Amino acid sequence: MNRVYLDYNATAPLRPEARAAIAAAFDAPGNPSSIHAEGRAARAILEAARREVGELAGAAPRGIVFTSGGTEAANLALNPEIGGRAPLPRLILSAGEHVCMLAGHRFAPSAVSVAPLRSDGRIDLAALEESLADGGGPALLALQGANNETGVVQPVAEAAALVHAAGGLVVCDAVQLAGRTPLDAQSLGADFLILSAHKFGGPKGVGALIAAREGLSAGLPLLRGGGQERGARAGTENVAGIAGFGAAAKSVRRDVAAEAARLSALRDRLEAAILEAAPEAVIFGAGALRLANTTAFAVPGIAAATMLMRLDLAGVAASSGSACSSGKVTRSHVLAAMGVAPEIAAGAIRLSLGWASSKADVERFGEAFASTVTALRARRGAA
């Protein structure tokens, strides 16, 4: 059976360009820290990828620190010393942040506060401004560019303007933005960006923390040892993985606007199919700007675990939210922060499209979803 993959926000399939770059890098035997010809060849691969990732993010290559993924980048970034200046006394997290941001910081618990979300999934800027003015000193704000569960795009530039006016800095988890919308570190407004290669067709296990401008540093390193990554992250670099990261970045940058338009049309078809089969379905974040590739919904009375198992048996891969927690099928903290009733949130399903998604995938989903809803309604009626 040909399966339909609708879980790109968890991981995108590897792009052919990335696969080729990884294979080629495996043939480079040198350590990029060595000064001989083989070492210089490995270093050249590394720096070429750094330039491509910089082009994707609209940032200077020198400000890029390669990591093992978005989680490590978050743990590296969220420390009081970030920015290379006087320590920041506090951290503000938006209530919808990924768990790696919520749990991965290095601030004392007493120094951390949470900025609430509005019902449409966007950060409450008025509440943020009030928090910044409460006399607690300059803050580091952690704010996603777009939510991994709902696809809701956050007003990063507006939030950054408030934080900067109060003397603070902003770390933006741009993992879901990269490759899905044009990305420019300067216009985004954040001081640091986090990327993860496998979200847009690069390999798993490689990411980056990116300084948006000269003079900013990550501060206290997590991994100490050699002087790799300009002293920000010790350990021999994952040359093959980084090569794939760079190749995927180059590939998505070529046609990101056209791809966003294509995915938006497919997403609209997905939502039409959902509402045709279940007019009572709730689309989360529908009133806000969302990523073109993402829809999150629930059908009242149908549990997420039941729906996912039925869809999987029908050949459709979907999820109930973040890949880091959906295996537990617990209530989404994002939906809770949006004020979604527990009985509705319990049915939350996320569908996410990507570079290999097609109209045929959407049609197959529509058929599988309609038959699943019909079967579950019949079972519920019989009970």
pLDDT at position 322 is 55
Listed residue (340, 353, 297) closest to 320, CA to CA:
297
Report d(CA 347, CA 367) in Å as an integer.
19
Task: Give the residue among 174, 193, 197, 178 at the shortest CA–CA distance from 18.
Answer: 197
With a CB cutoff of 8 Å and minimum separation 6, the contacts of 355 are: 12, 13, 15, 200, 201, 252, 259
Which amino acid is located at 9 in the chain?
N
Nearest residue to 73 (alpha-carbon basis) of 86, 64, 61, 81:
64
**Rounded Cα gap, residues 139 and 159, in angstroms:** 12
Q: Which domains does the chain have, with CATH numbers?
A: 4-12+256-382 (3.90.1150.10), 16-254 (3.40.640.10)
* 161, 222, 323, 324: the active-site residue: 324
- Residue 212 phi/psi, 5-degree rounding, is -75, -20
User: What is the pLDDT, as a whole number, of residue 323?
Assistant: 54
Query: Which residue pairs from 373-379 have beta carbons closer than 8 angstroms and sit at least 24 positions apart in sequence?
Result: 373/277, 373/278, 373/299, 373/302, 374/277, 375/310, 376/302, 376/306, 376/307, 376/310
DSSP string, 183-204: --HHHH--SEEEEEGGGTTS-T
Residue 242 has pLDDT above 90, yes or no: yes
Please determine, for residue 129, whether its predicted confidence score (pLDDT) is greater than 70: yes
Report the C-alpha gap between 180 and 165 in whole angstroms: 30
- List the structure tokens of 129: 């401004």
The average pLDDT across 25-40 equals 96
pLDDT of 52 strictly over 60: yes
Question: For the segment 212-237, what is each residue's pLDDT rounded down to a tens digit?
Answer: 998 898 888 889 998 899 999 999 99
For residue range 245-280, what is the model confidence (pLDDT) as tens digits? Answer: 999 999 999 889 999 999 999 999 999 999 999 999
Nearby residues of 272 by Cβ (< 8 Å), 6 or more positions away? none
The residue assigned the tokens 């790109």 is: 8
Arithmetic mean of pLDDT over the chain? 94
Helix, coil or strand: residue 379: helix
What are the pLDDT digits (tens) for 279-296? 999 999 999 999 999 999
**HEC string for 241-282:** HHHHHHHHHHHHHHCHHHHHHHHHHHHHHHHHHHHHHCCCCE
Is 324 one of the annotated active-site residues of the chain? yes
Contact status, residue 369 vs residue 376, Cβ threshold 8 Å:
no
Give me the mean pLDDT over the 91-112 stretch: 96
Token readout for 355 is 């570079």
pLDDT, tens digit, 9 for 90 and up, residues 340-356: 999 999 999 999 999 99
